[in-house]
Amino acid sequence: MQRLHILPFAEADSVLEGRSRVEFVAPELRRKRSCQEVVRTGDILRHEDLDFAVIKCEPAEGVLAADTDYFLDGSPVVSFEKIQFSAWGPSEMSSEALFSECIVPHFKGDFVPFGNAGAKRVRFFYSNMVFQIGNIHLQVEATDPPGLGVVTNMTEIFANWDKTPEFEKVHIVPFQDTLPQAYEFDIFQDYLKPYLMRSPYKKFTNNELFTYHGVQFKMVACEPNVVARIGKGTTIFCDGVLHPSLRNLLPPDLLSQVAQLPPGLQMLLLNTERSTRELEDMLTHRRGLFEETLAEIDRFTWPPADSNSSQQTCMICLNDFSIGDDCRCLPCRHVFHGSCVDEWLRRCTDCPICKDNVDRAIRHY
């Protein structure tokens, strides 16, 4: 054995209380080496009633030697309270058949659930992991708690047949600023095809972003427009390039949130110098003005008393003001529809036009 990666189970790690993992498990490793016991991935190592697991070994199995390298860094192995599987294959199976014919036999023999008296080895799982049982593919959709873990006899197991369809057509485009400049390349053969071959079971949605070897891609169109997989029957187009505007860089969930806002507010959010993280913060955390501060902003019914005002359009909804419209005038004297600017100021404290800080102007700090 050349290399061995070992981790304690969470229960054992809590008992160690900072003691060296390698020193604690060393007596068991020395015993296995002297007995020339074969070690394999998934083996349970027990010392003083505390359990460790062989996470990975090179080669896949072998005996320990004086020059074997040991690694014990990493988060401990958790025992799942719940785990959710999805499955697909040649013919659809009910949840009951999937559980009894595939999942239950997967935990037999040496691989009985962790904690049972006869457990000698464990199977590891983690979110999004894909594995195969016979001709059935399974994916771990979710685990509780998260992390690398094992199934016990107390774990609630859920399994459903995955009915995710396959795209008929997709159009996937790279971002121009991420393309290599020093050498020639074929965007499909050198980047897109290898990525898709490495991710044969990945589910995609329109506007999805992903990166392969430094080149960032975006799915700009798909048919049908649903969550689906790219399969052997999918026609793939990759003509053109994208420029790194904020709209292009937004993931689907943020893009859908922005699409629900008034057109002018969308433009203000997307055309200013903000990172994706800053925009996400504005959309989700709403770190703008408090309601009591909003109430202090001047409010009037159009037209304004100051007939010299040259502003005739609300720059958030992009509609001209009409007689009787409810409006607000910010301390910087820029005017907007009340409902439009209130929505903006709940997310941002600056005037949408001149960027003056409204909160500072009203509260005088």
Tell me, what CATH number does 45's domain have? 3.10.330.10
> Are residues 275 and 325 both part of a single domain?
yes
Q: What is the 3-state composition of the chain as percent helix, strand, coil, each rounded to the nearest 5?
A: 25, 30, 45
- Among residues 18, 39, 71, which one ends one of the domains? 71
At residue 353 the predicted structure's pLDDT band, cuts being 50, 70 and 90, is confident
Domain housing 49: 3-71
> Are residues 82 and 144 both part of a single domain?
yes
| Mean pLDDT of all residues belonging to the chain | 87
Residue 307 lies in a domain: yes
Contact between residue 102 and residue 90 where contact means Cβ atoms under 8 Å apart: no
- Among residues 115, 140, 161, which one ends one of the domains? 161
> Are residues 86 and 63 both part of a single domain?
no
Residue 249 lies in a domain: no
Q: Is 160 exposed, middle or buried (0-12, 13-18, 19+ CB in 10 A)?
A: middle
Residue 250 lies in a domain: no
> Are residues 25 and 123 both part of a single domain?
no
Q: What is the DSSP letter of 60?
A: S
Q: How do residues 56-90 score in pLDDT, each as one tens digit?
A: 999 989 999 999 999 999 999 999 999 999 999 88
Predicted structure pTM score: 0.60
Q: How do residues 308-344 score in pLDDT, each as one tens digit?
A: 667 888 888 878 889 999 999 999 989 999 988 888 8
| Number of domains observed in the structure of the chain | 4
Residue type, 106: H
> Are residues 151 and 179 both part of a single domain?
no
> Are residues 210 and 262 both part of a single domain?
no
- Among residues 199, 216, 244, which one ends one of the domains? 244
Residue 318 lies in a domain: yes
pLDDT reported for residue 349: 86
> Are residues 236 and 272 both part of a single domain?
no
> Are residues 116 and 147 both part of a single domain?
yes
